[in-house]
């Protein structure tokens, strides 16, 4: 399951373990496609890693902090530290490999 984050719970929600965060907006076509890929990936990975999303229109604080300038934009964190970023639509295989590298 992909968990929705907001400005208030972002830091506690990403501080432990491997977390992939999708910065998105509901009006963005590639973001919708990315969301479907992430839902399938979350189901496949089970609890091995967290997959989360953050609506940049509703939560500009975290988006500004990460200097998000285009969406979809994904950030992979390990124990709250940025490990890797992805800009644009990413396929499941690329994301699986990145997650497995930090697990």
Q: Considering 31, 41, 56, 74, which one is annotated as catalytic?
A: 31
Instruction: Please say whether the beta carbons of 23 and 68 come within 8 A.
Output: yes
pLDDT of the residue at 35: 97
Give the pair of three-digit tokens for residue 72. Answer: 């979809």
Query: Going residue by residue through the chain (103 aa), what tens digit of pLDDT does each one get?
Result: 999 999 999 999 999 999 999 999 999 999 999 999 999 999 998 888 999 999 999 999 999 999 999 999 999 999 999 999 999 999 999 999 999 999 8
pLDDT of the residue at 46: 86
- Domains in the chain, please, with CATH? 3-102 (3.40.30.10)
Instruction: Please say whether the beta carbons of 89 and 34 come within 8 A.
Output: yes
Does 52 qualify as catalytic in the annotation? no
Alpha-carbon distances of 80 from 12, 40, 95, rounded to whole Å:
9, 24, 18
Q: Considering 3, 7, 17, 28, which one is annotated as catalytic?
A: 28
Dihedral of the alpha carbons of 25, 31, 46, 60, in degrees to the nearest 10: -30
- Sign of CA pseudo-dihedral 12, 52, 31, 67: positive
Does 31 qualify as catalytic in the annotation? yes
pLDDT of the residue at 96: 94
pLDDT of the residue at 4: 97
């Amino acid at each position: 399951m992909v968990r929705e984050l907001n400005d208030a719970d972002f830091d506690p929600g990403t501080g432990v373990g491997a977390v992939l965060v999708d910065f998105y907006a509901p009006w963005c076509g590639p973001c919708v496609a990315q969301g479907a890929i992430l839902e399938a990936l979350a189901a496949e990975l089970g609890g091995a890693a967290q997959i989360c999303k953050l609506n940049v229109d509703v939560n500009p604080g975290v988006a500004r902090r990460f200097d998000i300038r285009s969406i979809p934009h994904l950030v992979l964190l390990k124990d709250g530290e940025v490990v890797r970023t992805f800009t644009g639509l990413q396929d499941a295989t690329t994301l699986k490999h990145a997650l497995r590298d930090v697990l």
